[in-house]
Amino acid sequence: MSEKTESIWVKIQKIPNPAILAVFTILMIIPVIVPLNLPIGIPIMTQQFYDYLLNMPEGSKIVFMSQLSGFNYGDLAPLCAATLKLITNSPNHLKVIMVFQSSDCVPFWDIMKTTYGWQLPPDRKYGVDYVEFGFYIGAEMGWATTCDNFKAMFPKDRFGTPIENLPIMTGITSAASWNLLLLPNSWSGLMDYIIRHAYGRYGVKVMLMPAGMCAMSAAAYYPSVSPGMPIGAGGGAQLEKLQGYKSWGTTMADAFSLMSLLTVVLACMRIVGDYMERRTQK
């Protein structure tokens, strides 16, 4: 008695997982080697973020509170880099005050700047248009102190310059003197207490820049607290497109698009395969 020959659909469904993972890996590498220039749409939340920043009054002071760290670097670094490039090259000369959520966020910020080749433009000056402080301590109480009395938490910048010698800090006493707060983060608990003090007690708009994992939590604050909201690496790619350049955000977006396409193809093949098998068994 001859053995029953397996159909092509059964054979496809028996492709081993390592082979599928290998294909996913190759699809991630292709955009790094060969730019694909896949189309990138601009969601309304990213466009609102971009427009809001460029329409702020001349010389507005923005506190950029970063949670960029090891566990969220892949998703948030493209977004942070594109945002930093946007605000430090803005025609309305936005001024940027950097603070960090924890000690590990500081070195990862430096890694991001190096990886993405960011430098302060020649017409901007450190201490006048851009400054970096360290990380606040004390979790929510530390952040509350930062909002109430910035100097009490940060008497010097991260390089040891007294706050009195930094022209950008003139008039910055409490959160009442901030024009906007930017918050890239991947933890909804942090997002909640940051907003509770900056927006809840001082009325400062908090522009959320969530990683994909906490986008749904952040959505609750849009648009009342956060007038715009780019999300993760995709948001970074969208901001790159709006600024007219391509970097790692665009590359990652291309890789995710290819992997999403493969996922859809595999799912369709599974559905068709199951259908064809049922037909042959009738």
Q: What is the reported pTM?
A: 0.85
The more confident residue out of 203 and 39 is: 203
Sign of CA dihedral 78, 80, 85, 86: positive
Unique residue bearing structure tokens 């001024």: 95
In this structure, are residues 122 and 130 in contact, taking their beta carbons and an 8 Å threshold?
no
Beta bridge partners of 61: 95
The C-alpha angle 177, 178, 182, rounded to 5 degrees, equals 170
Q: What band does 1 get if pLDDT is binned at 50, 70 and 90?
A: very low
Q: Pick the closest to residue 200 from 132, 277, 144 (CA basis).
A: 144
pLDDT for position 4: 59
- Quickly count: other Cβ atoms within 10 Å of residue 74's Cβ: 13
Q: Which residues contact 115 (CB under 8 A, 6 or more apart)?
A: 77, 81, 248
The predicted pLDDT at position 119 comes to 93
Which residues, including other chains, have CB under 8 Å from residue 12's CB and lie 6 or more apart?
269, 273
Give residue-wise pLDDT tens across range 80-133: 999 999 999 999 999 999 999 999 999 999 999 999 999 999 999 999 999 999
CA distance 169 to 96: 10
Q: Domain 44-245 class?
A: alpha beta
